[in-house]
Amino acid sequence: MSDFSLVLFTFIGSISALLFAGYLTMFIMKQSEGNEKMREIAQAVKDGSAAYLKRQYIVVGAFFGVVFLILSYLVSQKYLVFFVPYAFLSGGLFSGLSGFIGMSIATRASARTAEAARTSLNAGLRVAFSSGAVMGLVVVGLGLLDLSIWYTVLNWYYSSNPLPHGLDKIGAITSTMLTFGMGASCMALFARVGGGIYTKGADVGADLVGKVEAGIPEDDPRNPAVIADNVGDNVGDVAGMGADLYESYVGSIVATMALAAAAGLGFRGITVPLIMATVGVLASIVGTFFVKCGEKASQEVLLKALRRGVIVSAVIVAVVCYFLVKMTLGAENIGIYWSIIAGLLAGIFIGFCTEYYTSAQYKPTISIAESAKTGPATVIIHGLSVGMLSTAGPVLAVGAAIIASFYFSGGAKDFNLGLYGIGISAVGMLSTLGITLATDAYGPVADNAGGNAEMAQLPPEVRERTDALDSLGNTTAATGKGFAIGSAALTALALIVAYKEELHIFGVELDLSLLNPRVLVGLFLGGMMPFLFSSMTMRAVGKVAGDIVEEVRRQFKEIKGLMEGKAKADYAECVKIATAGAQKEMIVPSLLAIITPVVVGLVLGVEAVVGLLTGATVCGFVLAVMMANAGGAWDNAKKYIEEGNVGGKGSFAHKAGVVGDTVGDPFKDTSGPSINILIKLMSMVSIVFASFVVANSFFK
């Protein structure tokens, strides 16, 4: 395959994804948005979300400006090549764009889903799932686009200009492409942290006054924080997740491309991840056609329909990759194919574990619900215990994937080839992202549709249908989270290896022995980082929630007739408070992630940085799984109680269950998912600042 045909193929894949996303958007926009009340509510959510993103992009824009100047300075000092500041900007831009587009569609799809759910469950599913699919396809489409553009530019440039010291052309291309990952990671972190603080601050705040104090149901229009809560689903669970997975996606691909250069596979080595990703995009498009069912489908049938789409895509990728590896890398490297399969299987297995530990169909979640009989304390103890126990499966899966992909790809004979195998298994895990993200991102749309139906006082069967879609979404989201978290661990490892390669290029050889005290101290510092970071993000949620609580209390007190449904709440004020709070609180944890690897490098040297990154990856992975699963289990335990078990709604046990759910909110939607980005961003920052740190470190 030639350069040209590789780029052309990738480009076609990218454009196909974007075109198909456009087609789905048209389908969604053609649907009716319902009656005036519904449109009005949807508009409020749309405005709130847009206002939030606007403020966020101003803050983030300022941040990107500062980093751009710093990188430009480093370019002027010859620490970095000319392209880096622009690569950084483009990564941030595309990551932000993914979130923005996904969110725009999601906010437009929610009322339409509610309206469609008036007809049937299936009609509702089609609208909601289409919105999710737009998100998934935009993420992978833009990812491939950015990759193919930069590959073209750098390939053209290095064909006629001198190569950097010690690099061949592929090495020069991939080491620059790595740096656009840093832009995507930064954007993703801000989106996840800011959005996560917003969504859970608003959610917790709304629940604390609404459900607990005033005793009104969720999504009740009398609650002044109800719009902010719905906005939160969009800015956190949609825009935040989009930016997050964009970053995972391109991060795993560029890291693997860099490892291909190190493994001496040359052009063939970078072809494989790019083609795999492109095949995955096309397979995802095919998969979406399999997500359909009869008009009167049960929830089980719906779940099967969603799963069928994912499985079809995965099978296509699995089959095509066999020939891809064989033709590109030769029959002697067919082991690399098994590395891909190892990654794919590990992702599926982690998804299964997540479902087992968080679904009310299985014992762990039911046991949490039962522990609610003895009050909130036992719910918390039990939920944390389940969350901690649930780390075993994912750790074993990732461990098995590491060992399998390393040895299958020939790591025993050629160490670098084995490391390339680990990278390629991450790409394998993420190759079907287009459709796994679709099944994940449709959840918040269904959730918002439910809120819309409740506030617009649609007939109860509509709410029942949207609830069914929402609860289905929780199950599929579990699979999505499994892929996100598993791929984060593998991608972080690939990035750490890429970092070592980057240092190798500068002529720095490392003593990475576990017994090197600087490596050890790095490990301790890295192990601490996810805890510190989670502490800050959880506290931020608490603060924003506290502000919301006070505002809602004020409105209940000052707006006469609000509780009787005679006066209208001031929704905009709550939106404003949550927006301002999230912006303020997201700065410090984000800066912590960016500054720490540079400071550790300067003070303790690059060996400590590798320790830092590894420690953060290990502890971060375990903690993230724990938080995500405990949070999910608490959420579903509460729902299980609300379905009439262990006392049902309004019982002592239900109150205890609500406490668990509230604690779980920041766990699963703020701190947990942010850790994924934290560990990758720290690696990216280390790579970009490597030359500067090496030249200026106190420990040479």
Q: Which is closer to a second copy, CB of 360 or CB of 404?
A: 404
Q: Which is closer to a second copy, CB of 305 or CB of 397?
A: 397
What are the angstrom distances between the C-alpha of 103 and each of 17, 28, 98, 227, 302? 17, 14, 8, 15, 24
Single residue of 317, 619, 677, 688 touching a second copy by CB under 8 A: 619
Give every CB contact of residue 462 below 8 A, 6+ residues apart in sequence: 114, 117, 118, 453
Residue 236 Cβ vs a second copy, minimum distance, rounded to whole Å: 17
Helices (H), 77-168: 84-119, 121-160
Q: Which is closer to a second copy, CB of 68 or CB of 506?
A: 506
Single residue of 125, 422, 593, 684 touching a second copy by CB under 8 A: 422
Residue 377 Cβ vs a second copy, minimum distance, rounded to whole Å: 4
Q: Which is closer to a second copy, CB of 65 or CB of 399?
A: 399
- The interface with a second copy within residues 104-133 (CB under 8 A) comprises none
Give every CB contact of residue 203 below 8 A, 6+ residues apart in sequence: 229, 232, 665
Instruction: List the x/- string, 135-164, binding to a second copy by CB under 8 A.
Output: ------------------------------
Give every CB contact of residue 346 below 8 A, 6+ residues apart in sequence: 397, 398, 400, 401, 425, 429, 486
SS3 assignment, position 370:
helix
- The interface with a second copy within residues 383-412 (CB under 8 A) comprises 384-389, 391-392, 395-396, 398-399, 402-403, 406-407, 411
- The interface with a second copy within residues 444-503 (CB under 8 A) comprises 489, 493, 496-497, 500
Q: Which is closer to a second copy, CB of 44 or CB of 489?
A: 489
Residue 487 Cβ vs a second copy, minimum distance, rounded to whole Å: 15
Query: Nearest-CA neighbor of 279 among 152, 426, 144, 138?
Result: 144
**Contact range with a second copy by CB under 8 A, out of 64-72, 169-177, 528-536, 687-695:** 528-536
SS (H, E, C) 517-563: HHHHHHHHHHHHHHHHHHHHHHHHHHHHHHHHHHHHHHHHHHCCCCC
What is the separation of C-alpha 206 from the centre of its chain, rounded to a whole number of angstroms? 25
- The interface with a second copy within residues 315-344 (CB under 8 A) comprises none
Residue 614 Cβ vs a second copy, minimum distance, rounded to whole Å: 5
Residue 78 Cβ vs a second copy, minimum distance, rounded to whole Å: 29
Single residue of 46, 108, 126, 382 touching a second copy by CB under 8 A: 382
Residue 138 Cβ vs a second copy, minimum distance, rounded to whole Å: 33
Q: Please give the DSSP secondary-structure letter assigned to residue 78.
A: T
Residue entry with tokens 């033709």: 327
For residue 524, state whether it binds a second copy (rule: CB under 8 A). yes
- Measure the CA–CA gap between 212 and 418, rounded to whole angstroms: 54
Single residue of 15, 531, 573, 576 touching a second copy by CB under 8 A: 531
- Measure the CA–CA gap between 659 and 371, rounded to whole angstroms: 12
For residue 376, state whether it binds a second copy (rule: CB under 8 A). yes
- The interface with a second copy within residues 664-683 (CB under 8 A) comprises 666
Q: Which is closer to a second copy, CB of 89 or CB of 521?
A: 521
The total of other beta-carbon atoms located within 10 Å of residue 698's CB is 9
For residue 51, state whether it binds a second copy (rule: CB under 8 A). no
What is the gyration radius of the CA atoms in the chain, in angstroms? 24
Single residue of 53, 272, 366, 604 touching a second copy by CB under 8 A: 604
E strands along 232-375, which residues? Answer: none
Single residue of 618, 679, 682, 690 touching a second copy by CB under 8 A: 618
Q: What angle do CA 442, 443, 446 make, to 5 degrees?
A: 90
Number of residues that bind a second copy (CB under 8 A): 79
Q: Which is closer to a second copy, CB of 132 or CB of 393?
A: 393
- Measure the CA–CA gap between 129 and 462, rounded to whole angstroms: 17
What are the angstrom distances between the C-alpha of 235 and each of 29, 103, 239, 245, 358? 20, 7, 5, 14, 24
Q: Which is closer to a second copy, CB of 57 or CB of 407?
A: 407
665 contacts 394 by C-beta, under 8 angstroms: no
Q: Please give the DSSP secondary-structure letter assigned to residue 432.
A: T
Q: Which is closer to a second copy, CB of 294 or CB of 399?
A: 399
- Measure the CA–CA gap between 355 and 471, rounded to whole angstroms: 12
SS3 assignment, position 291:
coil
- The interface with a second copy within residues 204-233 (CB under 8 A) comprises 204, 208, 212
Single residue of 323, 513, 565, 695 touching a second copy by CB under 8 A: 513
For residue 261, state whether it binds a second copy (rule: CB under 8 A). no
What is the separation of C-alpha 587 from the centre of its chain, rounded to a whole number of angstroms? 19
- Measure the CA–CA gap between 350 and 362, rounded to whole angstroms: 16
For residue 187, state whether it binds a second copy (rule: CB under 8 A). no
- Measure the CA–CA gap between 618 and 620, rounded to whole angstroms: 5
Residue 331 Cβ vs a second copy, minimum distance, rounded to whole Å: 24
- The interface with a second copy within residues 632-671 (CB under 8 A) comprises 658-659, 662-663, 666
Q: Judging by beta carbons within 10 Å of its beta carbon (0-12, 13-18, 19+), is residue 368 exposed, middle or buried? A: buried
For residue 377, state whether it binds a second copy (rule: CB under 8 A). yes
Residue 14 Cβ vs a second copy, minimum distance, rounded to whole Å: 33
Residue 659 Cβ vs a second copy, minimum distance, rounded to whole Å: 5
For residue 523, state whether it binds a second copy (rule: CB under 8 A). yes
**Contact range with a second copy by CB under 8 A, out of 240-248, 301-309, 378-386, 559-567:** 378-386
**Contact range with a second copy by CB under 8 A, out of 21-29, 87-95, 427-435, 603-611:** 603-611
Instruction: List the x/- string, 536-575, binding to a second copy by CB under 8 A.
Output: x-xx-xx--xx--x--------------------------
- Measure the CA–CA gap between 672 and 241, rounded to whole angstroms: 12
- Measure the CA–CA gap between 272 and 257, rounded to whole angstroms: 9
- Measure the CA–CA gap between 365 and 98, rounded to whole angstroms: 34
Residue 357 Cβ vs a second copy, minimum distance, rounded to whole Å: 11
Single residue of 189, 260, 525, 685 touching a second copy by CB under 8 A: 525
Residue 648 Cβ vs a second copy, minimum distance, rounded to whole Å: 20
The total of other beta-carbon atoms located within 10 Å of residue 431's CB is 34
